[in-house]
Structure formats: C-alpha cells, structure tokens
Amino acid sequence: MVKKVSRILVFASGSPFDEEVVSLACDIGHDAKASVWVLYVLQVPRTLPLDAEVPAEAARGEMVLQQMEQLGKSRKCKLEGGILQARDVGPAVVDEAVARNVDLIVAGASYQEHYGSPTLGGVVPYLLKHSPCRVLVYRASQGSAPVGANA
C-alpha cells in the first residue's frame, strides 16, 4: 500500500527551472491535500563561518522564495518557504526533510553531460542515497537552463 503524501519538500536554487519543479510539487500537494515546503539553501563557502552574513545571497534567496510563494498562491497550493545556511545542499535538504518529517522530496535536475554521458550532478544522487523518504526527480529537457552548480 502506498503511503499518503501529506508533507512535501522541494528545494529551489534560483534557476528558471524552479517554477516547473515547484509547480509539480504544488500539483502533487493539491491532489493529496498536502503542504509544500520550499527550501532555499544558502551555500556558505568553507572560507567563511557557517553563520556568516551573506547579504547579497540572502536577498536573492528571499526573492526566490517570494516568487515561489506567489506561484503557490496562484496554484491554490498550501506553500511556505524558508532559507537555510549550509555548506552543502544535499545534506541540508536531507536534514530538513528529517526535521519536517516530510513524505516526499521533489528535486529538479537540469540536463547535464559529463564526458558525453548524462549525469544528475551532485545533489540528486545524494538525495537518492540518503533521503529518509521518497524522492521524485524531475529532469529538465535537453538545452534547458542549469538548475544550479550542484543539482
């Protein structure tokens, strides 16, 4: 028997592809009457303390979340968002999934090639290996904009 989805986590990276990924999460959330949590991970370089203030990146994260919240409203989706500072995106998403006890992570992956073969980047394989819940991967079509450096 398939477990009902009541909490969905989707991470946004600030790419144009975010709208497609969040829309998919909203569609799933709407059908299942689930809540959707959009996470923007502010990646802090190892040269800075983890709690360092990075105003430009924080402002970008706020802008991305506002756009995603507007998208959620337009799709009649119970959507909220937050920013998390972390060293690496994958572990931050998994930790947030555990903390929020989510049933599903929706992850976007741009079409990338590494030495001529398609690759999922770094974040998606990490989520597939370490996630405590189901992971739905939505891959962009060839030629679409990259999701992010690690996605």
Indicate the residue type of 120.
L
Q: First-to-last CA distance in the chain?
A: 31
Counted domains in the chain: 1
For the stretch 80-119, what's the b/e string if a residue is b when 16 or more beta carbons lie within 10 angstroms of its beta carbon? ebebbbbebbbebbbebbeeeebbbbbbbbbbbeeeeeee
What is the Cα 141 distance to its own chain's centre?
18
Q: What is the pTM of this model?
A: 0.85
Supply the range of the domain harboring residue 25: 18-84+96-139
In this structure, is residue 62 part of a structural domain? yes
In this structure, is residue 2 part of a structural domain? no
Which domain CATH number covers 118? Answer: 3.40.50.620
The pair of structure tokens assigned to 79 is: 């959507």
pLDDT per residue as tens digits for the range 76-113: 998 999 999 999 999 999 999 999 999 999 998 776 66
- Is 150's pLDDT higher than 50? no
In this structure, is residue 34 part of a structural domain? yes
Q: What is the mean pLDDT of residues 133-139?
A: 92
Judge contact between 22 and 68, C-beta under 8 A: yes
| Residue located via tokens 């360092």 | 52
